[in-house]
């Protein structure tokens, strides 16, 4: 209930701590981090509104229509409303959500050898029949005992499609059928290098319900072919891009995430023409270009400008561009969610795949015969803790769009701010995001 001041008719109100007011050429964007509501005003009008709110933080000097809009969008809030309590509530709700996501790794082996890959290509690593059976029991266990409300599988590796026939297809069919019987939604995707997506595999993936693939390029053609080679293939760049075009031809409404791993040396504008050569104009809307700096590269804020030019060219050619999306579900990373696990080829269970847990002979968790997961330590519990309960994050204006430290760093007892290792500031990310939104709706 809205409280009222003793002396006036107006309710007691204040400005949200999470208002971001960001100039961008002739506009100023207004964005509220807690509600994910936004609008833009001309530069002059915005400055006028800001100055009125500086004088009267409850917005009482503003025209009624504007004040009402600011209240409904969370820019002006009830004096008694504790935004931190709300952030904690939303965090817990999302951590506990029973929409179960699993990353499944049928192997850590791969048909390529990339210099940066953390997974060290464990030749001969392949999920056994007995682990495959435990995986099926796990699906049953989560549906019947944990009462999950949906199931989402992402096939990952190594290269998961190396074992499409023996592992990916049978497990996907099983999970699909069990979810259908239980009346809960099922989704499936693959993070793959795209090498094995021939016509037959694509049709089978389409029939199984695959609606998303993530495939990586390592910079432009010359660099990609140097990093990713396979004895029988002249150019893996050409091969994979023509496979991508085929996937889009065969699978309606597919979301094709084309991840571009870039370094200081592997990226230039010619990548756009090289990709265009393989992807038909009519198929480009299905492709989401997703740039990622290779993690071994040093932080360099000037990279932003180089990449912005390349992304602009991709956009002009008809592709979608991934921009940072601030409405991220009130968790700092998906690993923070209780109903999220990654399951390795040997039945080991972990939370984060970007760490040494992948190569440990045991644990931190493992699949049991009845399909449950046994954790050998407190990893699972610690990953679901709020990582923002420290003075720096609690006072940070970016809290609702960041949600705190990387859970792995938190578990390891480290506390450095995520944005120190990012090339991009929140301000730039927000501007890019809002520009994209306005481009789509105008
Ligand atoms: S990790 Fe950094 S940016 Fe994120 S909430 Fe904490 S202090 Fe803020
Ligand atoms: S390294 Fe941190 S942010 Fe990245 S996936 Fe692992 S837990 Fe999440």
Question: Residues near 95 by Cβ (< 8 Å), separated by ≥ 6?
Answer: 331, 336, 337, 338, 384
Interval between CA 303 and ligand 2 midpoint (Å) = 22
pLDDT band, very low/low/confident/very high, at 115 (cuts 50, 70, 90) = low
Q: What is the DSSP letter of 352?
A: -
User: Can you give the pLDDT at residue 124?
Assistant: 74
What tokens does 263 get?
Answer: 């370094």
Measured in angstroms, how far is the CA atom of residue 108 from the centroid of ligand 1? 33
Q: What is the pTM of this model?
A: 0.90
Closest CA to 383 of 353, 352, 361, 356: 352
What pairing do the DSSP bridges indicate for beta strands 186-192 and 373-375? unpaired
DSSP letter string, 354-376: SSGGGG-SS-SEEE-TTS-EEES
In the predicted structure, residue 283 carries a pLDDT above the cut 60: yes
Which residue of 410, 418, 425, 426 sits with most ligand 1 atoms within 8 Å of its CB, as the best mutation to test the pocket?
Answer: 418
- Both ends of the chain: CA-CA distance in Å? 37
Q: How do residues 297-307 score in pLDDT, each as one tens digit?
A: 555 656 667 77
Q: What's the pLDDT tens digit per position in 378-416?
A: 999 999 999 999 999 999 999 999 999 999 999 999 888
Average pLDDT over residues 20-44: 94
Q: Give the three-class secondary structure for 295.
A: coil
Most confident of 5-19, 238-252, 404-418: 238-252
- Indicate whether 8 pLDDT > 70: no
Q: What is the pLDDT of residues 156-185, one digit of tens each?
A: 988 999 999 999 999 999 999 999 999 999
Is the pLDDT reported for residue 71 higher than 60?
A: yes
**What confidence score (pLDDT) does residue 442 get?**
67
Distance 187 CA to ligand 2 centre (A): 22
Q: Which residue has the tokens 């994209």?
A: 436
Which tokens in the block code for residue 233? 């293939």
Cα 278 to middle of ligand 1, angstroms: 41
Distance CA 350, CA 339 (A): 12
- The whole-number average pLDDT for the span 311-322 is 93
Q: How far apart are CA 287 and CA 295, in angstroms?
A: 23
Helix or strand run (H / E) with residue 292: strand 287-293
Residue showing tokens 């430290």:
405
Report the nearest-CA residue for atom 7 of ligand 1: 393
Tell me if residue 2 falls in helix, strand or coil. Answer: coil
User: Looking at residues 209-214, what average pLDDT do you find?
Assistant: 98
What confidence category does residue 1 fall into, taking pLDDT thresholds of 50, 70 and 90? very low
Q: What is the gyration radius of the CA atoms in the chain, in angstroms?
A: 24
Quote the ligand 1 centre to 395 CA distance (angstroms): 9
**Nearest ligand 1 atom, CA 392:** 7
> Best mutation site among 388, 408, 415 for ligand 2, i.e. most ligand atoms within 8 A of its Cβ?
408
Q: Is the CB of residue 333 below 6 angstroms from any atom belonging to ligand 2?
A: yes
């Amino acid at each position: 209930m809205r409280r009222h001041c003793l002396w006036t008719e107006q309710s007691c109100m204040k400005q949200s701590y999470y208002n971001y007011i960001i100039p961008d050429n002739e506009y100023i964007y207004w964005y509220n981090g807690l509600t994910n509501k936004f609008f833009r005003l001309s530069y002059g009008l915005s400055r006028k509104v800001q100055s009125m709110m500086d004088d009267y933080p409850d917005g009482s000097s503003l025209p009624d229509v504007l004040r009402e809009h600011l209240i409904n969008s969370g820019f002006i809030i009830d004096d008694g409303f504790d935004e931190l309590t709300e952030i904690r509530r939303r965090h817990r709700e999302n951590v506990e959500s029973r929409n179960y996501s699993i990353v499944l790794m049928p192997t850590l082996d791969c048909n390529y050898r990339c210099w940066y890959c953390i997974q060290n290509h464990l030749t001969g690593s392949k999920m056994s029949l007995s682990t495959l059976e435990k995986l099926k029991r796990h699906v049953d266990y989560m549906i019947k005992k944990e009462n999950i409300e949906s199931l989402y599988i992402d096939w990952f590796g190594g290269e998961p499609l190396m074992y499409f026939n023996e592992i990916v297809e049978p497990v996907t069919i099983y999970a699909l059928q069990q979810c259908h019987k239980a009346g809960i939604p099922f989704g499936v995707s693959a993070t793959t290098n795209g090498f094995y997506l021939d016509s037959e595999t694509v049709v089978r993936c389409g029939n199984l319900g695959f609606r998303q693939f993530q495939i990586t390029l390592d910079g432009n053609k010359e660099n990609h072919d140097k990093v990713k080679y396979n004895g029988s293939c002249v150019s893996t760049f050409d091969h994979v891009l023509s496979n991508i075009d085929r996937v889009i031809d065969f699978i309606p409404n597919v979301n094709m995430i084309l991840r571009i791993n870039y370094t200081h040396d592997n990226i230039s504008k010619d990548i756009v023409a090289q990709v265009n050569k393989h992807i038909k104009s009519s198929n480009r809307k299905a492709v989401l270009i997703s740039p990622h700096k290779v993690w071994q590269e040093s932080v360099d804020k000037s990279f932003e400008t180089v990449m912005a030019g390349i992304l602009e060219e991709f956009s002009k050619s008809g592709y979608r561009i991934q921009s940072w999306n601030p409405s991220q579900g009130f968790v700092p990373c998906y690993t923070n969610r209780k109903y999220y696990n990654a399951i390795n080829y040997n039945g080991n269970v972990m939370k984060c795949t970007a760490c040494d847990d992948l190569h440990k002979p045991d644990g931190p968790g493992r699949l049991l015969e009845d399909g449950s997961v046994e954790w050998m330590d407190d990893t699972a519990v610690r990953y679901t803790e709020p990582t923002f309960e420290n003075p720096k994050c609690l006072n940070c204006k970016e809290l609702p769009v960041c949600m705190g430290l990387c859970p792995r760093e938190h578990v390891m007892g480290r506390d450095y701010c995520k944005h120190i290792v990012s090339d991009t500031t929140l301000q730039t990310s927000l501007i890019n995001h809002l520009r994209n939104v306005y481009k789509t709706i105008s």
